[in-house]
Amino acid sequence: MALLGLVIPAMALFSAPVALYWILGARRRSLGLVLLAFAIALLVGLALGLPPAMWLMVAMAALLGIPMAIVMQQRLHFGMATLVLALVGSAWAFSIMLLEWQASQETADIFFSARVAQMEEAAQSNVEGMERNAAEMFRWLSEHWDYLVFGVVFGMVYTAMALTLAILRIPVLSRVRMRGSLKDCRPPEHLVVLVIVLALLWMVDQWWWHTVPLRMVVWNGAMALMFVYLFNGFSILLYALHIFAAPPIVYAMIVVTVLLLGSTLGLHPVFLGFGFFDTWFNFRKRFRILAHLQRMQKRDNNNNSSNEE
């Protein structure tokens, strides 16, 4: 767990400059940064006493910058580009997890046990029971973590790749062919087929044929898709703020509120619903039509006011 906390930020910090130089045509500098990342990872690995395989996989995160640059130079939609890079980045993260699976499980057990003890201690002085509910949630996560961890890691990588692409495209906008931006991070519509398949496998797991491998596939797959559609719901919000020309201060306040208080305000299920049903309703198109009608009505009102004068 702690190592993954290093790997996923490394994917963004190491890969972004590598991709930037690759897109700008300075490929020798790009490869030089890859070698620098290997050197930094080696020094950190020796300092922390990590096995060679571990720091090597961390350093290889820099290599993700090359496929990132290649993807950005293709005529892919932002959502598809994010999904492709998330799959590639997750392969690296999963490799690290599998190399140190036993240590990863032990770290997760320690983490969840500490959180349960912390919540139970806090619950003794709080009659509302929120801490007790949190303790039960952490206990449940500890018991089922193997069924969720790969999906959670994929979601973290997906988020990191989306944010990295959104920032990286700004300085190289004229040199890339990738279409859209963070507000257009819409997953492929055919992904809903995978949702249906996982739903059917979930029913098989619940009612007919329960096996650990099947449950790991179903639960981790569902968790990964939840992150994808949750992020799509958030990007729909960004699109709505953009298309209705929200003032920068309002834009910033709404985004910060959602990021900091989204869970507290219960907004995550809302974003998840919008993100999933966007497959059929295409909310961006509907917001675009509403914004166009609003502009037309405003223009007509201005014309009427001019005629009256």
Helix (H, G, I), strand (E, B) or coil at 179: strand
Output the pLDDT for position 52.
66
Mean pLDDT of the chain: 84
Least confident of 25-29, 80-84, 210-214, 287-291: 210-214
Residues 2 and 100 in one domain: yes
What is the domain count for the chain? 2
Last residue of a domain, one of 185, 204, 234: 185
Output the pLDDT for position 262.
74
Output the pLDDT for position 268.
86
Least confident of 69-78, 94-103, 207-216, 224-233: 94-103
Instruction: Assess whether pLDDT exceeds 90 at residue 211.
Output: no
The predicted model gives 164-192 an average pLDDT of 88
Output the pLDDT for position 220.
94
Domain around 253: 213-309
Residues 285 and 226 in one domain: yes
Output the pLDDT for position 51.
65
Output the pLDDT for position 307.
61
Asked whether residue 217 is assigned to any structural domain, the reply reads yes
Residues 45 and 176 in one domain: yes
Considering only residues 70 and 95, tell me which one the structure prediction assigns the higher pLDDT: 70
Residues sharing a CB contact under 8 Å with residue 38, sequence separation 6 or more, in sequence order? 56, 59, 62
Residues 178 and 220 in one domain: no
Residues sharing a CB contact under 8 Å with residue 270, sequence separation 6 or more, in sequence order? 233
Asked whether residue 144 is assigned to any structural domain, the reply reads yes
Asked whether residue 205 is assigned to any structural domain, the reply reads no
Instruction: Assess whether pLDDT exceeds 60 at residue 181.
Output: yes
pLDDT above 90 covers a percentage of the chain that reads: 30
Asked whether residue 201 is assigned to any structural domain, the reply reads no
Where do the H-state alpha helices sit in the chain? 2-23, 27-48, 52-59, 65-72, 78-99, 101-123, 130-144, 149-168, 191-207, 212-243, 248-261, 268-281, 283-308
Output the pLDDT for position 133.
74
CA pair distance 10, 253, nearest whole angstrom? 29
pLDDT in tens, 104-141: 777 778 888 887 888 777 767 665 556 677 778 888 88
Residues 174 and 39 in one domain: yes
Asked whether residue 61 is assigned to any structural domain, the reply reads yes
CA pair distance 275, 277, nearest whole angstrom? 6
Asked whether residue 166 is assigned to any structural domain, the reply reads yes
Output the pLDDT for position 235.
94
Residues 24 and 163 in one domain: yes
Residues 168 and 219 in one domain: no
Cβ distance 220 to 94 under 8 Å? no
Instruction: Assess whether pLDDT exceeds 90 at residue 223.
Output: yes
Going by pLDDT thresholds of 50, 70 and 90, the confidence category of residue 282 is: very high
Residues 171 and 244 in one domain: no
Residues 112 and 226 in one domain: no
Residues 128 and 277 in one domain: no
Output the pLDDT for position 143.
85
Q: Give first-to-last CA distance, the chain, whole Å.
A: 69
Residues 25 and 126 in one domain: yes
Least confident of 83-87, 134-138, 289-293: 134-138
Residues 178 and 218 in one domain: no
Going by pLDDT thresholds of 50, 70 and 90, the confidence category of residue 87 is: very high
